[in-house]
Amino acid sequence: MDLATILQYLVNGAFASSVYALMALGLTLIFGVMQIADFAQGALYMLGAYVSFYITNRIGLSYFLSIPAAMAGVALIAVLNHFAVYRPLRRAGGATTFVAALGILLILQNAALWAFGAEYRLIRSPFGDGKVTMLGAIITYQQLFIVLVTGGLVLAVWLFLQRTRPGKALRAMSQNRDAAALVGINPDRIAVVTFALAGALAGSAGALVSPLRAFDPHIGALAILKSFAIVIFGGMGSISGALFGALIVGLAETLTAAYVAAEYSDLIAFVLMIIVLFARPQGLRGGAVTP
């Protein structure tokens, strides 16, 4: 295997990992703070792609403006999900919120099917067919843009959790909800912040990938299942675990598609999850929300 081929696999794996990282990061935040496996994030990922599509193709605004618009719009929907569904059901405990999350996913999928139709959509990339070659490996400008934006968003989340009062309160809630309430942290306010942040990340992932992958109302189902497997693999509540898990899965999928068969690449995340569950049930870095 020559250097150019190795670099190409690394490039392809980094691109795939970027999309998974944003989804897994949102899931990790919600589970770490709220103890909710929010499968509805898959539908929010799908809605982010549609918001970007309609802003660029129907309204005629720049694709670059559609990304923050998708983040804001999807964050609002995530907060509405919290108030309308998760907050009333949290008192019931058990598997209630899990079932509710699946219900929201299906409702939003079918609402999108009714509103947008079943045909596949694709946004024209503002970068066209532009690409750069590095040591024989080819990366398109759109892929490079996605990797750079993902890195910026991950850094922004890390700084938010480390340097801001709401971020520190979010971490405290994930470590001990009762103790955090005793020192004056408002759990409802932190829940809103958590859902808004996770929704913005899911919306950004959908908007970023929409010029490269054709999408329909059902694209979120497989994406959220993979992301959830990545979160379990990396450790529920661990940001570094989610990012590391996304990187490993992205690279493993790329290598599987290249050396085994493309149709088996979607199984990698679940295979790795099962292996980790047997060897280390808490994941690579399980626990409260940590960098």
Residue 264: C-alpha distances to residues 14, 159, 196, 215, 249 (Å): 19, 37, 34, 20, 13
DSSP readout, 135-198?
TTEEEEHHHHHHHHHHHHHHHHHHHHHHHSHHHHHHHHHHH-HHHHHHTT--HHHHHHHHHHHH
Q: In this model, does residue 247 exceed pLDDT 90?
A: no
Is it the case that residue 84 has pLDDT exceeding 60? Answer: yes
pLDDT digits (tens, 9 = 90+) for 194-235: 999 999 999 999 999 999 889 999 998 888 888 888 888 777
Q: Is residue 139 part of a domain?
A: yes
In angstroms, rounded to a whole number, what is the distance separating the alpha carbons of residues 246 and 153? 15
Domain assignment present for 291:
no
Structurally, how many domains does the chain consist of? 1
| Dist. CA 168–CA 257, nearest whole Å | 41
pLDDT tens per residue, range 27-72 = 999 988 888 888 899 999 999 999 999 999 889 899 999 999 999 9
pTM of the model: 0.90
Q: Residue 184's domain is classified under what CATH number?
A: 1.10.3470
Residue 111 lies in a domain: yes
Percent of the chain, pLDDT > 70?
94
Domain holding 118, by residue range, is 3-279
